[in-house]
DNA sequence: CATGAAAATGTCAACGGTGACAAAATATGT
DNA sequence: ACATATTTTGTCACCGTTGACATTTTCATG
């Protein structure tokens, strides 16, 4: 086969990965996530089951394929805030400038397909934990809190609470059905403000 | 075999369950959780793997065997608070009167055995979510917040934050090593107070 | 004690996921 | 074009978990 002209021809791995992703999403949409087996996806893509796992750590990850990138984006957004700025502001801005609309399209597709709650929910918890760690790390770095100190403890709690706001907001937003990004922003803001002013 | 005299002789299922639990914990302590396979546990107990899963929903659950009971205890503690009382007080008292010492003995054993973090951590997240739901339900009932309202949303966040305090407190407590129950209570109290006064 | 329903367990097959190692495909330098 | 190192994929074996169905054990009742 002749080599492609200019385009940095995707490596075989990249092609395989893409083929797998398309095969998976196609079946997911048609039959649902649980009803689709890795064997079927692999067969559609013309590879072995084992190869699937060389490109995606789990079935869930095909759906959340670009979440890692977004987590990196979030870390970057935190990191780029000026050092002098109050950390609360830094976190608020990073959270509020998160591209929810792009991130949530995949999940919207899922919701439309009924069921799958437990499966997806479990994965959401993992993602939430990652965001929580990310925020905690940022706060620890910026405040220079001593490890194992009460201050570090309170920072851990803070991080988990902020992550809880992010995810409860999107959850509530979905549950209500009216998918307006403005409304999502309002919920995030409302949640963060209620954290700041104290929980009653 | 002769029947036992007085004691309400445990049913066969109860005996099997107990045998499995002991076999599992013995192996867990000696070789660690991950290094112990269900097949081994079942063999030690003289039953099939399938039977193991008839008594415990997962390997993790053998460790957290009585967590369900404690969750029930917690729900009861919440429920028993007088209806007139401010819900914040109800939750605080229920959380603070939780028998952490008894609950955490099993986890202490684990920590001593190194590794296993991811596995156990994942299960902790699940348990935390259950507590969170429990608290949220209580708050929703007591306040009569309309579903899908902003108030209900904020209650969801509150519940997750309180649960985060409970678990971050025990985690921090463990990490510090000085296993004094007084200190654990102090951490819980500190966390709850910082929630109340607002997160900075 | 016999009998039959209900409970407990065994058997079998399947799926999701992972490690170890072998085989094949690809890229690279000569 | 050739030889070689590197990537990519296949093969195999295993573990955790679950559903469906068959078999055995237990237990109440006649």
Q: How far is CA A19 from the centre of its chain?
A: 22
For residue B17, what are its two tokens?
Answer: 């369950």
- pLDDT of B55: 95
Å separating the CA of residue B19 from the C1' of nucleotide C21: 39
B50 and B112 assigned to the same domain: no
Residue A90: pLDDT band by 50, 70, 90 thresholds? confident
Does residue A116 share a domain with residue A52? no
Per the structure, how many domains does chain A have?
2
Tell if A47 CB is < 7 Å from nucleic strand D: yes
Q: Are residues B131 and B188 in the same domain?
A: yes
Cβ partners under 8 Å of residue A195, min gap 6: A161, A162, A165, B157, B161, B198, B199
The winner for highest mean pLDDT among A173-177, B68-72, B174-178, B188-192 is B188-192
Nearest chain A residue to B158 by CA distance is A199
**Is residue B3 in some structural domain?**
no
Give the highest mean pLDDT range of A162-176, B54-68, B96-110, B131-145. B131-145
- B47 and B140 belong to one structural domain: no
d(CA A56, CA A168) in angstroms, rounded, equals 27
Q: What pLDDT score was predicted for residue B6?
A: 40
| pLDDT, mean over chain A | 82
C-beta neighbour count of A97 within 10 angstroms: 12
Q: Is residue A3 part of a domain?
A: no
Quick one: B136 and B46 in the same domain?
no
Given a cut of 70, whether residue A1 has pLDDT beyond it is no
CATH of the domain at B55: 1.10.10.60
Q: Are residues A38 and A133 in the same domain?
A: no
| pLDDT for residue B200 | 64
> In Å, how far are A189, B79, B120, B131 from B74, measured between CA atoms?
32, 9, 21, 8
State percent of chain A over pLDDT 90. 34
Query: Do B101 and B31 fall into the same domain?
Result: no
Give residues 3-22 of chain B lying near strand D (Cβ < 7 A): 9, 11-12
The CATH number of the domain where A140 resides is what?
A: 1.10.357.10
- Find, among A3, A117, A153, A41, the residue nearest to B195 by Cα: A153
What does the pLDDT look like over A166-192, one tens digit per residue? Answer: 888 888 887 887 778 888 889 999 999
Tell me whether residue B135 is in a domain.
yes
Is the pLDDT reported for residue B127 higher than 80?
Answer: no
Highest mean pLDDT among A92-101, A189-198, B108-117: A189-198
**Which of chain B's residues 22-81 bind strand C, using a 7 Å CB cutoff?**
46-51, 54-55
End position of a domain, from candidates B21, B36, B59: B59
Confidence of residue B46 (pLDDT cuts 50, 70, 90): very high
**pLDDT tier at B9, thresholds 50, 70, 90:** low
Average of pLDDT values for A87-97?
A: 82
Q: Which DSSP helix (H) or strand (E) runs through B53?
A: helix B49-55
Tell me the residue range of the domain where A190 lies: 64-196
Residues B174, B86 share a domain? yes
- pLDDT class for A55, splitting at 50, 70, 90? very high
Specify whether B166 is located in the same domain as B146: yes
Percent of chain A with pLDDT over 70: 83
Say if residue A54 is in the same domain as residue A73: no
B44 shares its domain with B69: no
Question: Higher-confidence residue: A192 or B64?
Answer: A192
DSSP-derived letter for residue B34 is T
Task: Report yes or no on B1 lying in a domain.
Answer: no
Asked if residue A180 is part of any domain, the answer here is yes
Of A13-17, A31-35, B5-9, B37-41, which range is least confident?
Answer: B5-9
Whether residue A6 lies inside any domain: the answer is no
DSSP state string for B112-154: HT---HHHHHHHHHHHHHHHHHHHHHHHHHHHTPPTTSHHHHH
Chain B: nearest CA to A148, how far in angstroms? Answer: 6
Asked whether residue A37, judged by its CB, lies under 7 Å from any atom of the DNA or RNA strand C, the reply is yes
pLDDT tens-digit map of B85-124: 888 788 888 887 887 766 655 655 555 554 456 666 667 7
Q: Are residues A106 and A78 in the same domain?
A: yes
pLDDT band at A109 (very low <50, low <70, confident <90, very high): low
């Amino acid at each position: 086969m002749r080599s492609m002209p200019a385009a940095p021809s995707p490596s075989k791995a990249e092609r395989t990965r893409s083929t797998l992703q398309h095969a998976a999403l196609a079946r997911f949409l048609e039959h649902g996530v649980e009803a689709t087996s890795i064997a079927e996806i692999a067969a559609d893509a013309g590879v072995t089951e084992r190869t699937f796992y060389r490109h995606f750590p789990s079935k869930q990850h095909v759906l959340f394929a670009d979440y890692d990138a977004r987590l990196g984006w979030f870390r970057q957004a935190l990191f780029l805030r000026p050092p002098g700025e109050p950390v609360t502001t830094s976190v608020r801005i990073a959270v509020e400038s998160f591209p929810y609309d792009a991130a949530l399209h995949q999940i919207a597709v899922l919701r439309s397909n009924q069921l799958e709650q437990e499966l997806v929910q479990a994965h959401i918890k993992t993602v939430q934990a990652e965001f929580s760690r990310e925020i905690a790390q940022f706060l620890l770095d910026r405040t220079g809190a001593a490890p194992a100190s009460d201050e570090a403890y309170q920072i851990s709690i803070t991080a988990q609470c902020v992550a809880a706001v992010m995810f409860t907001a999107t959850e509530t937003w979905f549950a209500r059905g009216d998918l307006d990004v403005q409304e999502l922003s309002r919920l995030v803001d409302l949640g963060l403000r209620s954290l700041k002013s104290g929980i009653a």
